[in-house]
C-alpha cells in the first residue's frame, strides 16, 4: 500500500459519497486548517490508483514533542479519524486493507517515535480498531445514541420516545413554546447559551464563536439552527445541527435559557428529527446522532429517544491517554 500526503484539492477528488462524518467534508477541513493550532495534514492510502483509506490530522510540535490529533481538541468535533474505502465485500480483504492502511499511517506520522503523541477519535463507521491495539496503542470505547430514521413515519418515531420525552414536548407546546429555523443570528444565540452553560459548569468551553461562525458559513445547506421562543418572543433554547450525507448531528445547544418554566429541548430535537423524516432536501439523511452518551448523566436523558447505543473508539499513545480522555469527553455535549 502507498501512503501519500494530499492537498485539499486532491482530498476532494478522492472523497467518498458516503461513510464519512460531517467534519471530513472538504469545506470543514478548510475551516479546521484556518482555526486549529498546528498544521492540517491529509493522508490517503492507495492500492495502485485506487484510494482505500483517508486520514485528516492536525500536527502540533511543542517542546520537542509532536502531537498528531484527529480531531484537534477545542473545535467541538466529536469524531474524525480514519475512513476506510474497501473495494471488496469479503471480510478478509477488508481486514487486510485496515491492517495495511493502519501500518502505513503509523509509519507516515512516525507514531512509534518516543516524542510522537497520537490521538484519534474514530468515526462510528470505523468498527475495527484492532490494528492499533496490535501496534501497541491504547483503544478505549466511547458511545453515542443513533436514531435510525430510514423508512419510518413521524408517528412511529415519536411513539418510540419514552413517555417522559413525549410529555416534555406536550408541556412545551402547551406553554406556547415555538420552534423555528434561524440563520446566523440564531446560531449566535445558541452558541452563547451553550458556552455560558458549559462555563457555568466549570468546563471552560473552548470553542470560539469565530470558528463556529466560519464552520456554519462553510457548511451552507448542510447545517440548520433551530431556535425555541416563548410566546413573548424571548429565546428559550436552541440546537445547531450539522449533516453528513447520511446523518444529522447536533453539536451545540440543548441548553435551557431559564426564561420558561418548561424545557424546550425535546421539542427542539423533535423538530430536527421531523425535518429529516419529511423534508425532501434531507432525503439522503437517514439517522440522527444524539451525541455524547459516555457520561452517565447525559446517557440517562438521551436514551429516552429510543436510539441504538453505538460505540466508537478513541485511539491514543499511552502517554496521551489521560489528556485525551478529558479532551474528548468535553468536546461534544
The predicted pLDDT at position 329 comes to 47
State residue 19 phi and psi, 5-degree precision: 85, 15
Intrachain domains 2-142+313-330 and 150-285 with the same fold? yes
Residues 6+ apart with CB under 8 A from 103: 131, 135
What number of helices (H) and strands (E) belong to the chain?
A: 11, 13
pTM to 2 decimal places: 0.90
* Architecture, CATH, for domain 2-142+313-330: 3-Layer(aba) Sandwich (3.40)
Residue found by looking up cell 433551530 in the block: 226
Closest CA to 172 of 226, 224, 227, 228: 228
The predicted pLDDT at position 293 comes to 86
Domain 150-285 has CATH 3.20.20.140: no
Where are the chain's structural domains?
2-142+313-330, 150-285
Residues 6+ apart with CB under 8 A from 86: 52, 93, 94, 97
State residue 54 phi and psi, 5-degree precision: -135, 145
Interhelix angle for 265-278 vs 163-174, to 10°? 100
Residues of the chain with pLDDT under 50: 329-333
CA distance 244 to 183: 19
The predicted pLDDT at position 289 comes to 95
Amino acid at each position: 500500500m502507498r501512503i501519500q500526503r494530499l492537498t485539499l484539492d486532491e482530498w476532494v477528488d478522492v472523497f467518498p459519497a458516503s461513510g464519512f462524518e460531517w467534519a471530513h467534508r472538504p469545506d470543514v477541513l478548510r475551516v479546521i486548517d484556518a482555526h486549529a493550532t498546528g498544521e492540517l495534514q491529509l493522508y490517503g492510502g492507495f492500492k495502485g490508483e485506487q484510494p482505500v483509506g483517508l486520514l485528516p490530522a492536525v500536527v502540533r510540535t511543542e517542546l520537542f514533542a509532536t502531537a498528531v490529533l484527529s480531531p484537534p481538541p477545542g473545535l467541538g468535533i466529536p469524531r474524525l479519524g480514519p475512513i476506510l474505502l474497501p473495494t471488496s465485500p469479503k471480510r478478509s480483504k477488508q481486514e487486510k486493507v485496515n491492517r495495511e492502511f493502519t501500518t502505513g499511517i503509523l509509519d507516515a506520522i512516525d507514531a512509534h517515535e518516543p516524542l510522537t503523541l497520537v490521538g484519534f477519535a474514530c468515526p462510528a463507521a470505523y468498527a475495527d480498531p484492532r490494528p492499533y491495539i496490535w501496534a501497541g496503542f491504547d483503544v478505549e470505547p466511547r458511545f453515542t445514541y443513533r436514531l435510525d430514521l430510514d423508512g419510518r413515519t413521524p408517528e412511529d418515531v415519536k411513539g418510540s420516545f419514552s413517555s417522559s420525552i413525549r410529555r416534555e414536548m406536550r408541556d412545551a407546546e402547551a406553554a406556547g413554546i415555538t420552534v423555528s429555523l434561524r440563520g446566523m443570528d440564531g446560531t449566535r444565540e445558541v452558541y452563547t447559551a451553550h458556552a455560558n452553560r458549559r462555563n457555568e459548569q466549570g468546563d471552560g468551553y473552548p470553542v470560539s464563536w469565530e470558528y463556529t461562525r466560519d464552520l456554519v458559513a462553510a457548511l451552507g445547506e448542510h447545517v440548520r439552527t433551530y431556535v425555541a421562543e416563548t410566546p413573548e418572543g424571548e429565546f428559550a433554547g436552541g440546537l445547531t445541527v450539522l449533516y453528513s450525507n447520511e446523518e444529522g448531528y447536533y453539536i451545540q445547544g440543548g441548553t435551557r435559557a431559564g426564561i420558561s418554566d418548561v424545557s424546550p429541548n425535546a421539542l427542539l430535537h423533535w423538530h430536527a428529527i421531523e425535518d429529516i423524516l419529511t423534508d425532501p432536501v434531507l432525503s439522503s439523511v437517514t439517522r440522527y446522532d444524539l451525541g455524547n452518551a459516555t457520561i452517565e448523566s447525559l446517557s440517562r436523558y438521551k436514551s429516552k429517544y429510543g436510539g441504538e447505543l453505538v460505540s466508537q473508539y478513541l485511539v491514543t499513545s499511552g502517554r496521551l491517554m489521560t489528556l485525551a480522555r478529558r479532551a474528548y469527553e468535553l468536546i461534544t455535549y
